[in-house]
Structure 1
Amino acid sequence: MSALPLVALVGNPNAGKSALFNALTGARQKTGNYPGVTVERHSGRISLDDGRPAELVDLPGTY
């Protein structure tokens, strides 16, 4: 069995990665208007355009 495709949200702190993660996965991960809210990796499942499932990963911001 093959592994799920992996999609990672990577970017600067306070860029909206967690808000996008919540919108795509239906999660209710904490967000804030200041850097450093996400301090560890979070993952969820999404459906790709062709209906296949994929793992979506929200990572802490990087500079």
Structure 2
Amino acid sequence: MAKHINVALIGNPNTGKTSVFNRLTGLNQKVGNYPGITVEKKQGTCKFGRSCKVHILDLPGTYSLNASSVDENVVIELLLNKNDKDFPDVAVVVADIENLKRNLLLFTQIKDLGIPAIL
């Protein structure tokens, strides 16, 4: 039986989450050089080896887990609901190296929730 893993791509707006998503899934979601392109979660899959199916979620950009917009709320609702079928087994925090300090706030908030995370 194939193993199934949920991976959430999370990060500040305009850090390249959708570009990573497109590369991993082979899909072609719209990307842009300004915030607000992704306003809902996008889903795709990729295979890892012969027996592992990875479910990739491209989430809207957020600066923190304190929602100030509807699209940021999509991220928070997912991360706070362990019963959600899309709850991530691991979060990949896509960061802008030019603004690393700002990106680290979100990373530490995700770690504080107990979700395994990669920066």
TM-score normalised to structure 2 length = 0.48
Instruction: Give the unaligned 5+ runs of structure 1.
Output: none
What does the per-residue CA deviation read over 1:2-56, in whole Å, with 9 as the maximum and x for residues that have no partner? 87210000000000000010011011100000001000000111112x3311100
Query: 4+ residue stretches of structure 1 with deviation over 3 A?
Result: none
TM-score by length of 1: 0.88
Higher relative contact order (CA 8 A, sep 6+): 1
Normalized per residue, the structure richer in helix is 2
Structure 1 position 4 matched with structure 2 position 4 = yes
2:38, 2:44 → 1: CA distance?
Answer: 15
Structure 2: 5+ residue stretches without partners = 64-119
- 2:13 corresponds in structure 1 to 13
Q: Which residue of the partner structure matches residue 22 of structure 1?
A: 22
Q: Which of structures 1 and 2 has the bigger CA Rg? A: 2
Alignment of 1:55 onto 2:59? no
Structure 1 SS opposite 2:56: strand
Letter in 1 for 2:4: L
Provide the aligned C-alpha RMSD in A: 1.7
Identity %: 52
